[in-house]
Structure 1
Amino acid sequence: MRSLLRLWPYVRPVGARLAASTVAAVAASCLALMIPLVLKWMVDGPVARRDPSGVWLGGGLVLALGVGEAGLFWTRRLLVARPLAGLEARMRADLYHRLQRLPVAFHDRWGSGQLLSRATNDLQLVRQFLTFPLVFLAVNGTTIVVGFGVLLAQRWSLGLVLLAPVVPLVVLCSYFESRYALATRQAQDQIGDLTTLVEESVLGIRIVKAFGRHRSQARAFRRQARELRGTELRKARLLADLWALVTALPDAALGAALVFGVYQVADGRLSAGTLVAFLSTGLALRWPVESLGWLLSVSNEAATAADRFFEVLDAPVPPAVTAAPAPSAAPATDRGIRFAGVRFRYPDAPAGTPDLLTGVDLHVAGGETMALVGTTGSGKTTLTSLIPRLYEATGGRITLDGVDVAALDPAELRSLVATAFEEPTLFSASVRENVLMGAADADEEDLLRALRIAQCDFVHALPRGVQTQVGEQGLSLSGGQRQRLALARAVVGRPRFLVLDDPLSALDVHTESLVEAALREVLATTTALVVAHRPSTVLLADRVALLDGGRITAVGTHRELLDREERYRWLMSGDAPATAGGPTPRRPTAERSVGR
């Protein structure tokens, strides 16, 4: 109940309709309970007097009650269908909005299939529960109370016989509820894991086929599917056991009441009509009683689905900040990007391990292009991700033209900083829509300029030009084409600050030289930090910073670092670094070929 009560803010706007539908359903059930009373009147009256006209009247009353019951159930459905579809849509919109606001660190920890199953399967379960089971928990509960009141009023001794299974049923339902809830949660988590596996297999189908891993993927799928099947069968066994008991105990009580009642009729202590009405009422209560097992199972599934939904909504979002003014004219010493004692460690890093960044101090002057160089895993990409606050720095400050990024509203910050990552991400949309994600207010001229800078002339040869759909993840394009479109997206808005994470790694040398020539036009009017692995990319920069051991260990021009930093020479040449007392490494190829 605690889990389901958390749905109240969503239910409140449709609460009146839900209450009206419940009243309609209760009224329908009460009409059904009146039919046995009509039968009693018919048996003790017209049938006993052998009056056919009275039988027709009774049949008409039963028909009228049945039509009224059907009409009320139709009204109940009409009242809730549209509002509850809207409720599901609101919950899904809130979940999606929350996922957009949650930090990248959250998405690093969660499988996409787990989130997808929460947004689809779980919310569908919640809607179905609110549409039918929730109403009928109230309806059937009311029907049982009213029905037993009618039974006790007709013959209290027979009513007590039918009430005998109540205590055993309560105990059994409590035992069932605790076990079924655990199995339900396990099954829903397994559905999320299976969804993740299917999604990864579909998105990575090229790798799966290229390495002939379809059999191993199929084995992994069968293993997870078997586990889910086993959990679902365990749920089915629990439900079957409960249904058997919920059916058997009331039926046994009804049989006992029948025998006891027949004896009373035979002794003349009970009229035949009263016995018929009593048994008819008891039979009318069979479904409300037997449905308890099913309603409990659906309620458990809905409660677990609600828990999974609120797990995402309860995930902490970085606190809102008072929007600081956007960076404007600042003293020359403050202009640009400045890192001051910046530290960072991932939230799920094992205890006792050192920080990835242990105190970065770096100043990229206004209008300057700085190349960031370091070994794989040194934290270059992480450092650049701290500027637009895709991750939050553990310590220290990062400022843009003197304004701390932590004091900037995220939307304002990301309108100032544009990024292009080494692994480009495109969406199932047109070329135009993918590029203009970088600037909502960009016009056609800005689009064509960005495509020209990124050397994306290939888009004009596509079937519909810039309106061509690139497909999921842009897999209809080559790696170099995707990377160039991602670069176009970064530069389309003429950003004030530009962060590029090795954006040319997938290009051939000829295309790379063309992109570099055009990119200089952009870098001349912005402040840029460029992660570089190749000398050709380094040469785009005015200065180079060497990241090593979680710190910036050297800053200078490409030529200066080649002359004085052995670590840098090794990174640019690929030669093994000199050991203490060993020979001096040869002059690196990088310097001979591009150092001048």
Structure 2
Amino acid sequence: MKNDTIDSHQPARNTNLDALRRLSPYLKPVRGRMIGSAVAVLASMMCGLLIPLVIQRILDGPVATGDTSALGWMVAAVGVLGAAEALLFFTRRRLISGPSTRAEAELRKDLYHHLQRLPIAFHDRWQSGQLLSRAVSDLSTLRRFIAFALIFLVVNSLTLVIGLGVLFLLDPMLGLISTLCAAPLILISTLYESRYAVLARRSQDQNGDLATTVEESVLGIRVLKAFGRGPHLAARFAEQARELRRTELRKVHVVGLLWGAIIVLPEIAIGGQLLYGTFGIANGTMTVGTLVAAVAVATYLRWPTDSIGWLLAETNQAATAAMRYWEVRDAEITITDPPVPRRLPATARGHLRFENVRFAHPGSDTEILRGVTLDVRPGETVALVGATGSGKTTLTALVPRLVDVTGGRVTVDGVDVRDLELGQLRRVVATAFEEPVLFSASVRENVALGGTEVDEDDVRQALRVAAAEDFVDALPWGLDTRIGEQGLSLSGGQRQRLALARAVVGRPSVLVLDDPLSALDVHTEAEVEHALRSVLRDVTALVVAHRPSTVQLADRVAMLSGGRITAVGTHSDLLAGNAEYRALLSTDDDARSEVVA
């Protein structure tokens, strides 16, 4: 399993609202509609604030004097303002729904594209669940912030200021009472924000850990069942869920304290206004209409005031989500196209060379490869053998630039692979890995991933080469059969044959095979070997081999030991003259029988 704490300890390159501000380029195309939405909701609230003023006119006019001649248009004005408020609110939602979902889609697309370009070393360090939570739940949080919290945080603040202004116009003392009760909210909100931000980040990280546990337990269900370790992982999941619950309860506690203050302070303000207004009416210094209008305005301001807690919570959640987004988005892409790419010759020959190649993982002082030099001639098949951990897989990963050399160079037809466009390089070089990775798609789609402009005839030919056509035709829907996540509905040998078919479907010039026969039974191995002999005649191939049967497919064998190529020759020559090679093959019973033969 990957490090389950790596995410939480990543150094943050953004802090609080800075991470949100960096989202502005994604909002630029939709900024006009966002502004329109904000204007609509502000106008809606202004309509709501005007209604108490009309009510004041009604109470101090027709009700107080008994002259009802103007009552009709006043009542009509209340109806018009109410209808306008509702219509403008509806307009706001229509204006913002499209832009917010579009921004979310662009952020998600950009993140996914960036993930595809990040080096393998990045994916080795990060949990898939943490990446999944950023690409799904965190971006949904940002969409809610863009669609609702961002706009209402601005609009409700303006509404509060305007509403207090209206109260001051009605009576300065009424406005002062409300202002004095609203002022403590600034201090309370500041204290709340610092505490809530920590809890919000912890919660989102724990959600990522929980998603990772679920994903790993689903993908590894066969292992868990086989070893009876399901209850063990279930206990781990339950503990993670309890930790998340405790964090969420702490968040609720913090929000609850804020909400308590937000609710009680406006109530105190309304009580103070009623007390002051009652004495004013009794003394003749205030009209009933003024008091009723002031209380109505204060009541109308309850929603903008009460929403502050929720809006601050959403802002904190969004700031944390943005920070987590940028942690991934800011990860450096180390394997890129060169500024001025070179082109391979029009007719690619597939001449593969390793020239004094060295490699060490980032941050490590230990080199895995210490000066590998190997020449694979066009059309030649070279088997690469070596003890476990000798660097065979690393060497093969250098050819398609899944990783880059830290010294020396790898060339194809005399051109350094780092000087080629990645697209062209990976059309010329195809790879089949020891662990065949298949996708939740049809057989046709999985095989066609290996090339561009691949038609059904190409897929069929590739399946024949990989000795996979018969079992594919026997599937319920043939090429259109969906094989399920990771291809786990197929046997290991079937998955590996489909991976081989994917590798050859694009007719590459260079074929890199990492132990392609490891999951095949004896009968299937013979079939695939026969098919591979035909395809290997037409390409340059570097094949990682552990079985003598695989070695015998090669024209030459290169032995990797101590980070260097220590011997190169035919299988029979090395078997006869190299004790280390004989010892390496004799570790396997099948190899021993091959040696005797």
Tell me, yes or no, whether TM beats 0.5.
yes
Taking structure 1 as reference, are residues 235 and 433 closer, same or farther at Cα in structure 2, changes over 3 Å only?
A: same
State yes or no: 1:371 paired with 2:371: no
Q: Which moved more, 1:367-376 or 1:59-68?
A: 59-68
Match of 2:476 among 455, 463, 469: 463
Q: In the alignment, what sits opposite 1:342?
A: 357
- CA-CA distance at 1:52 after TM superposition: 5.4
- CA-CA distance at 1:541 after TM superposition: 0.7
Matched to 1:448, the amino acid is R
- CA-CA distance at 1:56 after TM superposition: 5.1
- CA-CA distance at 1:124 after TM superposition: 1.0
Q: In the alignment, what sits opposite 2:75?
A: 59
CA deviation vs aligned residue, 1:123-150 (integer Å, no higher than 9, x gap): 1111111111111112111111111111
Match of 2:522 among 498, 505, 509: 509
Task: Tell me the TM-score normalized by structure 1.
Answer: 0.93
Q: Distance in 2 between matches of 1:303 and 1:327?
A: 51
Q: In the alignment, what sits opposite 1:199?
A: 215
Q: In the alignment, what sits opposite 2:145?
A: 129
Matched to 1:547, the amino acid is L
State yes or no: 1:24 paired with 2:40: yes
Match of 2:464 among 443, 449, 452: 452
Matched to 1:533, the amino acid is H
Matched to 1:591, the amino acid is V
State yes or no: 1:489 paired with 2:507: no
Q: Is the 8 A contact 1:500 1:530 kept in 2?
A: yes
Q: In the alignment, what sits opposite 2:101?
A: 85
State yes or no: 1:569 paired with 2:587: no
Q: In the alignment, what sits opposite 2:533?
A: 520
- CA-CA distance at 1:47 after TM superposition: 1.5
Q: Is the 8 A contact 2:337 2:418 kept in 1?
A: no
Q: Which moved more, 1:260-269 or 1:390-399?
A: 260-269
Match of 1:473 among 450, 472, 486: 486
Q: In the alignment, what sits opposite 1:584?
A: none
Q: Distance in 1 between matches of 2:323 and 2:47?
A: 37
Q: Is the 8 A contact 1:103 1:391 kept in 2?
A: yes
Q: How many residues align?
A: 577
State yes or no: 1:362 paired with 2:377: no
CA deviation vs aligned residue, 1:160-203 (integer Å, no higher than 9, x gap): 12111344211111111111111111111111111111111111
Q: In the alignment, what sits opposite 2:450?
A: 438
Q: In the alignment, what sits opposite 1:298?
A: 314
Q: In the alignment, what sits opposite 2:267?
A: 251
Q: In the alignment, what sits opposite 2:11?
A: none
- CA-CA distance at 1:158 after TM superposition: 2.2
- CA-CA distance at 1:285 after TM superposition: 1.1
Percent identity (aligned) = 56
Per the alignment, in what secondary structure is the counterpart of residue 530 of structure 1? strand
Per the alignment, in what secondary structure is the counterpart of residue 557 of structure 2? strand
Q: In the alignment, what sits opposite 2:542?
A: 529
Q: Which moved more, 1:167-176 or 1:296-305?
A: 167-176
CA deviation vs aligned residue, 1:211-267 (integer Å, no higher than 9, x gap): 222111211111111111111111111100111112222322332232122112212
Match of 1:159 among 175, 187, 195: 175
Taking structure 1 as reference, are residues 68 and 444 closer, same or farther at Cα in structure 2, changes over 3 Å only?
A: closer
Q: In the alignment, what sits opposite 1:581?
A: none
Q: Distance in 1 between matches of 2:119 and 2:62?
A: 76
- CA-CA distance at 1:28 after TM superposition: 0.5
- 1:142-181 counterparts in 2 under 5 A? 142-181=158-197
Q: Is the 8 A contact 1:328 1:401 kept in 2?
A: no
Match of 1:39 among 39, 52, 55: 55
Match of 1:320 among 337, 359, 367: 337
Per the alignment, in what secondary structure is the counterpart of residue 374 of structure 2? strand
Per the alignment, in what secondary structure is the counterpart of residue 302 of structure 1? helix
Q: In the alignment, what sits opposite 1:233?
A: 249
Matched to 1:326, the amino acid is L
Q: In the alignment, what sits opposite 2:199?
A: 183
CA deviation vs aligned residue, 1:353-409 (integer Å, no higher than 9, x gap): x11112211111222111111111111111101110011112210011110001011
CA deviation vs aligned residue, 1:275-304 (integer Å, no higher than 9, x gap): 111111111112111211111100111111
Q: Distance in 2 between matches of 1:509 and 1:99?
A: 39
CA deviation vs aligned residue, 1:518-574 (integer Å, no higher than 9, x gap): 211111111110000011100011111111111111111112222232221111001
- 1:337-416 counterparts in 2 under 5 A? 337-347=352-362, 349=364, 352=365, 354-416=366-428
Q: Is the 8 A contact 2:344 2:413 kept in 1?
A: no
Q: Is the 8 A contact 2:188 2:258 kept in 1?
A: yes
Root mean square deviation, CA, Å? 1.8
CA deviation vs aligned residue, 1:2-41 (integer Å, no higher than 9, x gap): 2221111111111111111111100110111111111111
Q: Distance in 1 between matches of 2:221 and 2:67?
A: 78
- 1:540-579 counterparts in 2 under 5 A? 540-574=553-587
Per the alignment, in what secondary structure is the counterpart of residue 31 of structure 1? helix
Q: Distance in 2 between matches of 1:9 and 1:418?
A: 37
Q: Is the 8 A contact 1:545 1:554 kept in 2?
A: yes
Matched to 1:190, the amino acid is Q
Q: Distance in 2 between matches of 1:80 and 1:348?
A: 46
Q: In the alignment, what sits opposite 1:591?
A: 595
CA deviation vs aligned residue, 1:427-484 (integer Å, no higher than 9, x gap): 1111111111111223333322211121112111111111211111111111100000
Match of 2:303 among 287, 291, 295: 287
Task: Tell me the TM-score normalized by structure 2.
Answer: 0.93
Matched to 1:221, the amino acid is F
- CA-CA distance at 1:415 after TM superposition: 0.3
Q: Which moved more, 1:268-277 or 1:400-409?
A: 268-277
- CA-CA distance at 1:53 after TM superposition: 5.8
Taking structure 1 as reference, are residues 549 and 328 closer, same or farther at Cα in structure 2, changes over 3 Å only?
A: farther
Taking structure 1 as reference, are residues 328 and 373 closer, same or farther at Cα in structure 2, changes over 3 Å only?
A: farther
Q: Which moved more, 1:319-328 or 1:409-418?
A: 319-328
Q: Distance in 2 between matches of 1:72 and 1:144?
A: 19
Per the alignment, in what secondary structure is the counterpart of residue 358 of structure 2? strand
Per the alignment, in what secondary structure is the counterpart of residue 132 of structure 1? helix
Q: Distance in 2 between matches of 1:325 and 1:54?
A: 85
Matched to 1:409, the amino acid is E
Matched to 1:69, the amino acid is E
Mind listing any 5+ residue stretches in structure 1 that lack a counterpart? 577-586
Q: Is the 8 A contact 1:327 1:402 kept in 2?
A: no
Taking structure 1 as reference, are residues 115 and 470 closer, same or farther at Cα in structure 2, changes over 3 Å only?
A: same
Q: Is the 8 A contact 1:329 1:401 kept in 2?
A: no
Q: Is the 8 A contact 1:327 1:403 kept in 2?
A: no
Q: Which moved more, 1:524-533 or 1:160-169?
A: 160-169
Matched to 2:300, the amino acid is A
Per the alignment, in what secondary structure is the counterpart of residue 529 of structure 1? strand
- CA-CA distance at 1:327 after TM superposition: 4.4
Q: Is the 8 A contact 1:428 1:472 kept in 2?
A: yes
State yes or no: 1:261 paired with 2:265: no
State yes or no: 1:116 paired with 2:132: yes
Q: In the alignment, what sits opposite 2:21?
A: 5
- CA-CA distance at 1:55 after TM superposition: 5.0
- CA-CA distance at 1:57 after TM superposition: 4.5
Q: Distance in 2 between matches of 1:162 and 1:205?
A: 61
Matched to 2:337, the amino acid is A
Per the alignment, in what secondary structure is the counterpart of residue 495 of structure 2? helix
Q: Distance in 1 between matches of 2:196 and 2:223?
A: 40
